[in-house]
């Protein structure tokens, strides 16, 4: 097990280096930057050119790319994600509490996705071929096809505008978390439900399930004590992708509901042309995704010890 974990850790090193390269190279793909945009149209051209050159020297934008990349790696290793060109504040402070908010939203949406996805998948597998199965899979297909922001707007119209049960915009209380979590979680529950159904159908058709039923084991015992634990092995393999989908969807949902997370900040930073903030958010998001998948791989090896021997 320890050797397997070590191998997985070593395999993440090239991925991390690739993430650093991509996030660093983003600067060269942007036609302008926050320094230019900051002074554009505010002062005369001569003063603007002088101020821009001074600011670019201050932030090291005039250095050779390999010098900038070396400084970038060293800064990231120290936990320094740079300084926002627009707000002049450390980026780590800018995204700190927002990152926590995004993780809270992602965790709440994951709970919703697991509850809805697993329950509907189990019900569809148990009554496979019935109208319940057909209805569940049809709704699941609709959920896969529907954008999260559209579903979020529908929930706002129903529960905030018409019924007035919940707030439209997050005001800091737990009530503000309900609609964003439902919007994100139910959409992600759709593919999870279909995967759960397929895994459960495969397990329920095994001979040992028939033997358990022949011994008089209750249906609840067969489903939850024997079939579901074996089906979860297949479900666990795609859990990392599901969490990645939740992180990506959270960016859009945060804008729709005014949730103060890194997604909302990313949209603002793009408008500001502040590549330092955008770069840091992409780096943190990608790093989180890699870490989550590493944890899922370790959990899978723990659940199924045969994996660690490969």
Give the CATH number, domain containing residue 299.
Answer: 1.10.3720.10
pLDDT category of residue 65 using cuts at 50, 70 and 90: confident
pLDDT more than 70, % of the chain: 87
Average pLDDT over residues 178-190: 89
Q: Which domain holds residue 165?
A: 96-307
pLDDT of residue 228: 87
**Residue 118 is assigned to a structural domain of this protein:** yes
Tell me which of 51-65, 66-80, 107-121, 282-296 is least confident: 51-65
Average pLDDT over residues 176-190: 89
- 64 is a domain residue: no
Rounded to an integer, the average pLDDT of 72-92 is: 84
Answer yes or no: is pLDDT of 139 > 70.
yes
Weakest-pLDDT range from 13-22, 24-33, 219-228, 292-301: 24-33
Is the pLDDT reported for residue 111 higher than 90?
A: yes
State the DSSP H helix or E strand holding residue 253, giving kind and residue range, or none if neither. helix 239-257
In a domain, 20, yes or no: no
179 in Cβ contact with 155 (< 8 Å) = yes
* pLDDT (0 to 100) of residue 307: 60
pLDDT band for position 310 (cuts 50, 70, 90):
low
Q: Is the pLDDT of residue 205 over 80?
A: yes
Block residue for tokens 């903030």: 277
The answer to whether position 289 is within a domain reads: yes
Bigger pLDDT: 138 vs 49? 138
Tokens of 213: 């039923």
Mean pLDDT of 27-44: 60
Averaged confidence pLDDT in the chain: 82
pLDDT of residue 104: 92
Give dist(CA 103, CA 161) in Å, integer: 27
pLDDT attached to residue 70: 86
Give the pLDDT confidence score for residue 9 in this predicted structure: 79
How high is the pLDDT of residue 286? 87
Q: What burial class does residue 79 get, using C-beta atoms within 10 Å of its C-beta: 0-12 exposed, 13-18 middle, 19+ buried?
A: exposed
278 lies in some domain: yes
Is pLDDT larger for residue 186 or for residue 57?
Answer: 186
Does residue 197 belong to any structural domain of this protein?
yes
Domain annotation covers residue 137: yes
pTM over 0.85? The answer is no
Distance CA 188, CA 176 (A): 20
d(CA 287, CA 140): 30
Is the separation of the CB atoms in 103 and 259 below 8 Å? no
Provide the domain count of the chain: 1
The torsion defined by the Cα of 288, 290, 294 and 300, in degrees rounded to 10, comes to 90
How far, CA to CA in Å, does 135 sit from each of 127, 139, 191, 195? 11, 6, 15, 16
Mean pLDDT computed over 52-56:
72
How far apart are the C-alpha atoms of 27 and 34, rounded to whole Å? 11
Residue 35 pLDDT exceeds 70: no
CA distance 289 to 295: 10
- DSSP code of 89? S
Tell whether 207 is covered by a domain: yes
User: Among all chains, which residue has been given the structure tokens 């049960």?
Assistant: 165
235 HSE (CA, 13 A, CB side): 27
């Amino acid at each position: 097990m320890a050797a397997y974990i070590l191998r997985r850790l070593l395999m993440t090193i090239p991925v991390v280096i690739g993430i650093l390269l991509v996030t660093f190279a983003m600067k060269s793909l942007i036609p302008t930057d926050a320094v230019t945009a900051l002074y554009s149209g505010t002062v005369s051209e001569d003063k603007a050119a002088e101020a821009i050159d001074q600011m670019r020297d201050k932030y090291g934008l005039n250095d050779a790319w390999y010098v900038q990349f070396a400084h970038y790696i060293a800064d990231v290793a120290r936990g320094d994600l740079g300084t926002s060109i627009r707000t002049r504040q450390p980026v780590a402070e800018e995204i700190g509490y927002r990152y926590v908010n995004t993780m809270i939203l992602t965790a709440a949406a994951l709970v919703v996705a697991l509850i809805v996805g697993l329950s509907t998948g189990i019900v569809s597998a148990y009554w496979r071929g019935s109208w319940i199965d057909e209805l569940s899979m049809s709704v699941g297909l609709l959920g896969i096809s529907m954008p999260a922001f559209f579903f979020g707007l529908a929930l706002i119209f129903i529960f905030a505008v018409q019924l007035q049960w919940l707030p439209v915009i997050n005001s800091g209380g737990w009530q503000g978390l309900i609609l964003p979590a439902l919007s994100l979680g139910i959409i992600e529950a759709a593919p999870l439900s279909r995967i759960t159904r397929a895994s459960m159908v495969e397990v329920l058709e095994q001979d040992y399930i028939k033997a358990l039923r022949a011994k008089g084991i209750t249906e609840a015992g067969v489903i939850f004590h024997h079939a579901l634990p074996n089906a979860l092995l297949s479900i666990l393999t795609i859990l990392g992708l599901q969490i990645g989908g939740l992180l990506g969807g959270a960016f859009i949902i945060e804008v729709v509901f005014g949730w103060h997370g890194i997604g909302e900040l990313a949209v603002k930073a793009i408008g500001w042309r502040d590549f330092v903030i955008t770069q840091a958010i992409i780096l943190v998001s990608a790093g989180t995704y890699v870490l989550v998948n590493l944890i899922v791989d370790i959990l899978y090896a723990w659940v199924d010890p045969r994996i660690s021997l490969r």
